[in-house]
Amino acid sequence: MKGNKEKNPVLPISTVFTSKGIQEKFARLGIINQFGLILHLPLRYEDETHLCPISEVSEGRIVQVEGVIIHSEVMYRPRRQLVCQVEDSSGTLFMRFLNFYSSQIKAYSLGTRVRLLGEARAGFFGTEMVHPKCKIVCEGTPLPDALTPVYPTTAGLSQVMIRKFIRKALIGEDGDGRNLSETLPSNILKRYQLSSFRDSVMYLHQPPSNASAHLLQGRTHPAWCRIKFDEFLAQQLSMRLHYQRRRSYNAPALPCKNGMTRALIKSLTFSLTSAQRKSFSEISQNLSETYPMQRLLQGDVGSGKTVVAALAVLQAIENGYQAAIMAPTEILAEQHYQKLSSWFAPLFHSLGITVAWLSGSQKRKQRQAALSDIAEGKAMLAIGTHALFQEQVKFDKLGLAIIDEQHRFGVHQRLALRMKSVKEGLVPHQLMMSATPIPRTLSMSYFADLDVSVIDKLPPGRVQVVTKLFSDTRRDEVIVRIREACRQGKQAYWVCPLIEESEVLQLKTTLETYEILSLTFPELKVGLLHGRLPSQEKLSVMELFKQGNIQLLVATSVVEVGVDVPNASLMVIEHAERMGLSQLHQLRGRIGRSAEASVCILLYQKPLSEVARERLRVIYENSDGFEIARQDLLLRGPGEYFGIRQSGLPMLRFADPERDETLLNYARDAAEEVLRDNPEFAKYHLQRWLGEKSDYLKA
């Protein structure tokens, strides 16, 4: 390790390439240094290590043969094509090119010896290969002793060129191979039975002829395990350093004084569940610390996260600090404002403090009044949408920032709110909430730097929503169900995926559905809600629906989060096959918010793709949000799940938290030990894997 410290372990790409054009092409593949080349691992391999006699070639197999061209001809029926007959000592086959250059006609002339690699199939003249990989060789040209790697590429970069530069990076500048030096202590390698980094990388780039294609393609070979472990370890080290750095910042200590919090709990018409109490206890303890809390409160739809957040707000206010709650939609923000205002009114009235409401659609006078109350500290709680982190919003003493449905905000938006009031070197505490549960393995990797509280029990009295699948051809049956439900005094949602007609997707529009349902149910009051309505009109429609003046609400997925109408017990989701699992589960959570039996009907249109069929199966068979989230992760992969690409966290290229959970557990344990006992190894490992993104380099 001592020698490694004296040199930069991640050499810039300019030390490899002399041409700026080639450098730019590799940059398009995300390769900006020598280690990027080393980790540009093959997509698959071709076996050019042995030859198959032409007589033994069978259809459907990918094989390599060698022979001499005994006939070459450009044919014009049914289309222009180059056809060559190749012969070895055992037989003949044909190679056929549908697209070819004039130079190939000359190159593949009579008597030329060629080596072909491709899939054999039955052709008009006999066994043939169409567009095989073709090399002109001399008799006795030796065969490779390793499988041939096939790499991800981009326009202007051939496989030959990529292999050339990767070989150069593997050897190193002076032929010392220090790019492949070890970054893990020997005790870690031994404990987890890991192969050396050098051996693993060399094996993956140049696997021997007897290598297991199954293990290589499935990425389960020990060489792949080492690469995945290293990637997990770099992520875990980065997360832990981020966690440590956060604890080095100062935050206002906000101990629980049990005044307002106890008064609120006593005034509620329901009792907190044990899960809610436990979550608030964890949050309360964090708020009392002198370093900033960064906690994620997750719970299924309807589990009661809002009241836990309300208690956290009161704990901040009791200590003389303001709180802010940011929600992704005006409807959700308005719901929070109405609910918390009603809860807090008896507590705030005698103290002369208020709750401020901020949104992009406010009139200038209302907005200025709210901004003034927030800046002067009269409003101890501010609730709103993205408008909360705009430049003109100034807090007097912001001590707690709460972000609801946090995955809908980018990392910079979340940070902008938290940094709204950094006074006297104090950073506000941050609580993030999500009704989209994070699968355990994802929490262990991408969210390892967060403290997590889980509300895993629904309030008593809630009845599980019954989910039914209906083909679009059974629409008449759905109409009957809605009419019966509304006659009994209940309310219903009809959710559509689009506002405007789309010829490509051929989906029913919200507007068209509203008109049809208004004619179908002349005896019912039908409402319309979509994202393009003016904000005040949206809020007005929701208020009429909550009061029962609207019996059937036709809406887009704008009702996905935050809408709480206990009397609504029936939901129809149009074109459910086109929605994601998380969205379907969130929408379904808008009903079943009372003791009334509730039904969610998923209307789908045939034919169904395999993915759509699987999504509908999962949502039909499961009501547990955590299991749905796990299945969603398996279907979508960690890269797309939960908006991680916007999170600012280093993405995993090779490892998969779900499939490689054992390696993830090993890396978590190892990260703790390496940081404690071998900080130099940790530094070198992070520089290699994260480069300029490394927390060590930022320190």
Kind and range of the H or E run holding 87 = strand 81-87
How far apart are alpha carbons 473 and 574 in whole angstroms? 12
Strands 127-130 and 121-122: antiparallel
**Cα-Cα end-to-end distance for the chain:** 21
| Percentage of the chain lying above the pLDDT 70 cut | 88
Provide the pLDDT for residue 463: 75
Q: Does pLDDT of 639 surpass 70?
A: no
Contact between 566 and 463 (Cβ < 8 Å): no
Mean pLDDT of 544-550: 93
Mean pLDDT of 346-373: 88
Domain 260-455 sits in CATH at 3.40.50.300
Domain boundaries, the chain: 50-143, 228-248+668-698, 260-455, 466-622
At 257-289, the pLDDT tens digits run 989 999 999 999 889 999 999 999 999 999 999
Contact between 421 and 265 (Cβ < 8 Å): no
Domain 466-622 sits in CATH at 3.40.50.300
Mean pLDDT of 485-514: 77
Helices (H) and strands (E) in the chain, counts: 25, 22
- Conformational region of residue 385, where left means phi above 0, alpha means psi within -120 to 50, and beta covers everything else: beta
Two domains, one topology: 50-143 and 466-622:
no
Reported as a pLDDT band with limits 50, 70 and 90, residue 4 is very low
Higher pLDDT, 531 or 623: 623
Provide the pLDDT for residue 539: 82
Domain 50-143 sits in CATH at 2.40.50.140
Contact between 605 and 474 (Cβ < 8 Å): no
Quickly tell me which residue has 């990260």 as its tokens: 671
At 523, the amino acid letter reads E
Mean pLDDT of the chain: 87
Q: Does pLDDT of 450 surpass 60?
A: yes
Higher pLDDT, 337 or 634: 337
At 577-610, the pLDDT tens digits run 988 888 899 899 889 887 788 999 999 999 999 9
How far apart are alpha carbons 640 and 630 in whole angstroms? 13
Reported as a pLDDT band with limits 50, 70 and 90, residue 479 is very high
Reported as a pLDDT band with limits 50, 70 and 90, residue 443 is confident
For residue 288, give the DSSP letter: T
Mean pLDDT of 493-515: 72
Kind and range of the H or E run holding 66 = strand 62-75
Q: Does pLDDT of 563 surpass 80?
A: no
Reported as a pLDDT band with limits 50, 70 and 90, residue 682 is very high
